[in-house]
Amino acid sequence: MNSPSGVRCATIKTDPYIKMEELDILLQQIDKDRLPRHVAMIMDGNGRWARSRGMERSNGHSEGVVSVRRVTELSSDLGIGYLTLYAFSTENWNRPDAEVETLMHLIGWAIEQELPDLKRNNVRIHLIGDIDRIPEGPRRRLLDARDQTAGCTGLQLMMCLSYSARWELTRAARTLAARAASGEIDAASISEEDIAASLATAGIPDPDLLIRTGGEYRISNFLLWQIAYSELYFTPTLWPDFDKAEYAKAIIDYQSRERRFGKTSDQVTSK
């Protein structure tokens, strides 16, 4: 697959048969009855992946699209309900103009390329973030993909673009304050449910598992409200190297955890 900048996308790093065998072994270890319902991902490390190969950072982003395809495919194949990808943050607008332009172009191009497969696989695209800030060309492609997949009932794929949790929480605070000021709701009665319903992710269950690639231990303004009880998984693997086997390892690790939601171990293990 070639991106608009002529960047080579699909790379096979090891013998594909060995990789397939490793993946099969890992997939057999996944308990299909205890899958995370919702997985969120901070896709980090594209720039370092490219630089370490003497390439431009944009090559890392192009290669990152291949990883997006892989995690979408595996999520869909396993029957995971929701996948949320942090594709472009509010803070990413501060990157050099050329990188922002390349990323926007790439995202628009990738979504257009993938649309037939997404529809065939019953994947529904949701756009989360300040989408009006996205330049017209890619925005049109994104909105088109969202509209064309609106009836899809399989994997719900949330693409966070021009998104940050503080943007989202500020917007929710303004909405609730305006409703209280107009007398529609009582400010003293605003509940956690009211706040959740005012977020860009209204109606979507909170992530069970949050994966961050690229070796950093940060949340970077992502889903701050929604990840209150998510299991966190950090891996040094750079996003373009995050393949299905790496994803399977994260799910297996998630399944080894005891989720207590503030209760004691005895409470959650006794029926």
Which residues are known catalytic residues? 44, 92
CA distances from 160 to 9, 30, 127 (A): 22, 27, 6
Name which of 61 and 139 has its Cβ closer to ligand FPP: 61
Choose between 80 and 176: whose C-beta lies nearer to ligand FPP. Answer: 80
Q: Tell me which of 19, 48, 119, 179 binds ligand FPP, using CB under 6 A.
A: 48
Determine, following the binding rule CB under 6 A, whether residue 45 of this chain makes contact with ligand FPP: yes
Instruction: Extract the tokens encoding 68.
Output: 């997006």
- Paired residues of 42 in beta bridges: 86, 212
Residue with Cβ nearer ligand FPP (154 or 197): 154
Judged by CB under 6 A, how many residues of this single chain contact ligand FPP?
A: 20
Contacts of ligand FPP in 51-80 (CB under 6 A): 61, 64-65, 68
Nearest C-alpha neighbor of 160 from the set 43, 56, 65: 43
Q: How far is residue 229 CA from its own chain's centroid?
A: 17
Provide the residue type at 173 as one letter.
A
Rounded to the nearest whole angstrom, what is the least distance from the CB of residue 245 to ligand FPP in the complex? Answer: 18
How many other C-beta atoms lie within 10 A of the C-beta of residue 6? 7
For residue 87, what are the β-bridge partners? none
Alpha carbons 206 and 226: distance in angstroms, whole number: 5
Nearer to ligand FPP, 85 or 176 (CB): 85
Of 224, 223, 213, 204, whose CA–CA distance to 155 is shortest? 204
Positions in 83-112 near ligand FPP (CB under 6 A): 85, 87, 92, 103, 107, 110-111
Asked if 138 interacts with ligand FPP (CB under 6 A), we say no
Minimum CB separation of residue 62 from ligand FPP in Å reads 8
At position 184, the amino acid (one-letter code) is: E
- CB nearer to ligand FPP: pick between 110 and 200: 110
What minimum distance in Å lies between the beta carbon of 11 and ligand FPP? Answer: 14
Which residues, numbered 160-189, are part of the site for ligand FPP (CB under 6 A)? Answer: none
| Dist. CA 25–CA 164, nearest whole Å | 37
Residue partners of 69: CB distance under 8 A and separation at least 6 = 114
Q: Answer yes or no: are the C-beta atoms of 129 and 24 closer than 8 Å.
A: no
Which residues between 216 and 255 bind ligand FPP (CB under 6 A)?
239
Residue 158 is a binding residue for ligand FPP (CB under 6 A): no
Residue 3 CB, shortest distance to ligand FPP, in Å, is: 10
Per CB under 6 A, residues contacting ligand FPP are 43-48, 61, 64-65, 68, 85, 87, 92, 103, 107, 110-111, 159, 214, 239
